[in-house]
Amino acid sequence: MMNAGPPDATKPMPSIGAVLREATAALAALPQASPHLEAALLLCEATGYTRTQLLAWPETELGEADLARFEVLIQRRLAGEPIAYIRGRQAFWTLELQVTPDTLIPRPETELLVELALERLHAEAPLLVLDAGSGSGAIAAALASERPTWTLIATDRSLGAARTAGSNLRTYALGNAGIVACDWLTPIAERSLHAIVGNPPYIPDTDPHLKRGDLPWEPRSALAAGPDGLDAIRTLSTQATSRLRPAGFIALEHGFDQGPAVRAIFKRHGFEDIRTHPDLEGRERATTGRLPVTSRR
């Protein structure tokens, strides 16, 4: 993107503004990118400046080392690597979480699950809530930070993801949350949970979107789940009926066109008060339900 030749001592180094304009133009070629924002974030990463400082000092010349670091970051992004993996972190809820290629990148639509749990569960009660397939620990960390009386269990079968989630929980000193490396709810005691919240994989195995944007870089096991994308949701719904207490709550994220199928799965497993909730763009994004007050199982 930039001149890689030896520096000319007689020529001034490029300014913040000039570098941002050039990088923004280069990133505009990427699909699903936010060129100006991403250029600014990567320049902050390379220089240690804040975005406010970039805006305030566009005429400031960059040093050779900063420029070289920025060039490396830009080239990684132009190769398609997600900016969250390049920076090693991603904002979610009120937190900034460590992310790695072992974890799904937390997305804004998943915050709907946090909102639903906060709205539907008793704020002051000592509840036991499980974040199923936690990845970076995003949902567990967000809920633990908002509800100190709750105990959060995050589960993920990926050891790499479990390590990342544990690191995030320690970063925010969330003593009311822990991570267990396991397959969904397998080791969880029967009738022990007040709620299960999760963002399981829900993309069909052959969906062409798996080859687009950030998805090829993310762990496939966290994205795809069988021919119709619903295998993980079926497994969780089955296991939930024995792990949840009577009147226990479940909230799972799913694809925008999967609401009817998820409602049918919940109904088949005995859940009541089944509702599907839209995201900020009005697309069906999460379905909730409760076990009967007197469980039939």
Taking alpha carbons only, the member of 82, 122, 130 closest to residue 104 is 82
pTM > 0.95:
no
- Sketch out the chain's domains with CATH numbers: 16-80 (1.10.8.10), 90-290 (3.40.50.150)
Rounded Cα gap, residues 108 and 106, in angstroms: 7
The yes-or-no verdict on residue 70 having pLDDT over 50 is: yes
Rounded Cα gap, residues 163 and 189, in angstroms: 23
Provide the percentage of residues in the chain whose pLDDT is more than 70: 95
- Position 8 confidence tier, pLDDT thresholds 50, 70, 90: low
Rounded Cα gap, residues 85 and 198, in angstroms: 22
- Position 155 confidence tier, pLDDT thresholds 50, 70, 90: very high
The arithmetic mean of pLDDT across residues 62-86, rounded, is 96
The yes-or-no verdict on residue 159 having pLDDT over 80 is: yes
DSSP string, the chain: ----S---TTSPPPBHHHHHHHHHHHHTTSTT--HHHHHHHHHHHHH---HHHHHH-TTPBPPHHHHHHHHHHHHHHHTT--HHHHHTEEEETTEEEE--TTSPPP-GGGHHHHHHHHHHS-SSS--EEEEET-TTTHHHHHHHHH-TTSEEEEEES-HHHHHHHHHHHHHTT-TTEEEEESSTTTTSPTT-EEEEEE----B-TT-GGGGSTTGGGS-GGGTB-STTS-HHHHHHHHHHHHHEEEEEEEEEE--TT-HHHHHHHHHHTT-EEEEEEE-TTS-EEEEEEE--SS---
The arithmetic mean of pLDDT across residues 230-246, rounded, is 98
The yes-or-no verdict on residue 65 having pLDDT over 50 is: yes
Q: What pLDDT is stored for residue 39 in this prediction?
A: 97
Residue type, 152: L
Residue type, 33: A
Contacts of 183 (CB under 8 A, 6+ apart): 157
Tokens of 274: 């089944």
Tokens of 74: 């830009």
Q: What pLDDT is stored for residue 4 in this prediction?
A: 46
Q: What pLDDT is stored for residue 297 in this prediction?
A: 45
Taking alpha carbons only, the member of 231, 237, 227 closest to residue 290 is 237
Half-sphere exposure in the Cβ direction for 204 (13 Å, CA) = 8
Q: Are 73 and 38 in contact (CB under 8 A)?
A: no
Backbone angles phi, psi at 204, to 5 degrees: -60, 145
Q: What pLDDT is stored for residue 11 in this prediction?
A: 67
Q: How far is CA 11 from the centre of its chain?
A: 44
Q: What pLDDT is stored for residue 71 in this prediction?
A: 97
Q: What pLDDT is stored for residue 32 in this prediction?
A: 77
- Position 6 confidence tier, pLDDT thresholds 50, 70, 90: low
Bridging pattern class, strands 95-98 and 89-92: antiparallel
